[in-house]
Copies of this chain bind each other. A is one copy, B any other.
């Protein structure tokens, strides 16, 4: 069978339509459509899985030790870690993963925003999309999101931008991509239990069970359905 064959399945049926030469996440392969994933994304996924694999393994080892004897000393689950896989090849490209309005589009959007007091109707969005499409690849969803975000962010600014940046959208800085994977995993939520240092999982050969559990309970939550798997849906018809 074909590995690279277009299909749909997964939680949401999907089928692409729209722009075919869109360089976004879709591309044609032998006449079929497929999603594109960058090395970076793959790397990330790979790491997530690896992290789980490691944790599962350690937990199992731990259990074995327990079962065998309450030999605490045997608690040493890990040992020196080796690098299972790291150096990813070359991840140069970055297929566009997110739409970015062109200056022209932005200008039009802002103009319309003022005209509509920030809330254009569905039909209006469709019209706008059509017009913007003349200036670059775009979809209704993009427009919809743009207005959505615009409203939310303007509102936030007005209602005060107190130094209260600890909560809203101006704080958490997920640093460089290198740490992103772990960061995203451990700090997904619940800041009170998050570990301050990155690499908590690997900073030492032996990780305390308590810590691990902490991570599981609090931070081991990750985006279940990677957004890039989803299609860019066109907001309703």
Q: How many residues does chain A have at the interface if contact means C-beta atoms less than 8 Å apart?
A: 153
A116 interface hit (Cβ, 8 Å): no
Closest to A61 in B: B9
Most buried by B among A3, A42, A176, A237: A3
Total identical chains:
2
Cα distance A18–B154 in the bound complex, in angstroms = 18
B residues near A92, Cβ cutoff 8 Å: 32-33, 166-167, 191-192
Instruction: Give 21 CB contacts A-B under 8 Å.
Output: A1-B178, A2-B86, A5-B81, A6-B170, A7-B38, A7-B40, A7-B166, A9-B40, A19-B85, A29-B36, A32-B95, A45-B226, A46-B229, A57-B216, A63-B213, A75-B208, A76-B210, A85-B196, A96-B190, A103-B224, A159-B233
Most buried by B among A16, A73, A195: A16
